[in-house]
Structure 1
Amino acid sequence: MNGDSIAPFLQLGPLGSALAPATRPRALLIDEIDKSDLDLPGDLLEVLERGEFEITELLRERDQSGVDVRLWESDETCRVEGARVRCEEFPFIVLTSNGEQELSAPFLRRCLRFAMPVPDVKMLQGVVRRWLDVDVADGTPTGMLIAEFVERVNGGERLAVDQLLNAVHLLVGPDAPEGEQRERLAKLLMKNLSGA
């Protein structure tokens, strides 16, 4: 390879790193794919069906014998032959979606879909208990926050479980604010996401 190669300056992105040759499958999270560029699901489908993609910048190199390219946010490298990244083991990919954009039927056919259940009091009591180790019984301050959260979600408001966890963390306990300050903070923490 000549001294003018750009390979030392290249770094694979998260998808490229997930597809890089490895002895075991890598994992990749694509959060909120429905908010991505409209072409991403189709482009992703094409890359995953082939299990490879080209690095355009390396196609311009005269020497195609192979170069080492850094993986995403790592000092580790992978060997790229002929300007193509080819996976040996397909990655395990988790995609999340809020349903704000319709994804194509061919794309969805290749996915195992799981719809998150609507949270109920018992489920949220378990979540809060495990994450924050606080008393979640009905009638306790935490229990009342959970009940209010479930009532609002069932009423059609869009709230996230992390909002509830933040509210419990900040509004319950010996150092929690009281009175008007508590009310203002609770209103901010539990704001309806569809109106944000």
Structure 2
Amino acid sequence: MSIDMIGQKIGMTQLFNKKGSVIPVTVLQVGPCTITQIKKKENNNSANIQIGYQYANLNKMKKPNIGHFKKNRIPCFKYLKEYKSSYYNNLNIGKILNVNQFEIGNYINVSGTSKGKGFSGYQKRHNFSRGPMSHGSKNHRQPGSIGAGTTPGRVFPGKKMAGRMGNTKVTIKNLKIINIHSEKNILIVKGSIPGKNGNIIYINKKIK
């Protein structure tokens, strides 16, 4: 059973505990999210719950999406996320979820898109060690051998080589909630969150 919500990364700062130690924290603006759809599965005690975040501009939406919201008589949302949960008996379409779903001290998982670094080399992308930098060396930042010649005569898929770095989905698990500001929908968690300031992030909290 889980609770999922959509939010936005505001930025990082630091707090001090009672002992005077510095705690690096990330400030998140979470929700409010609206339940837009509930799909109950037969012969199963779970359901797929879809939530929406941030009101959308109708002029920039496709007609099937507008019809989806119009059918349920709810506003149109820009971002949607669907998750599986067995905690759906007290939920209904149109219900608004906010940061009150969480408590200080809870641990959550946060997913986001990491910063894009462009086309990067071996040392930066895979932390390879460089070659000798002395005079006469012709292997400073080259990868070296990437495979045998005659057999197999090719490079295997998945070989660590230069390429695009970043701009991928990254999930950070077990981030502790340090503080909650319900009036501004602010969540403060310990640690860092993937992506730049303003990125859309997805929050997941497991419930036993």
Q: TM-score if structure 1 supplies the norm length? A: 0.20
Structure whose residues are more often helix by fraction: 1
Which has the larger share of strand? 2
Tell me the TM-score normalized by structure 2.
0.19
Q: Greater relative contact order (Cα 8 A, min sep 6): structure 1 or 2?
A: 2
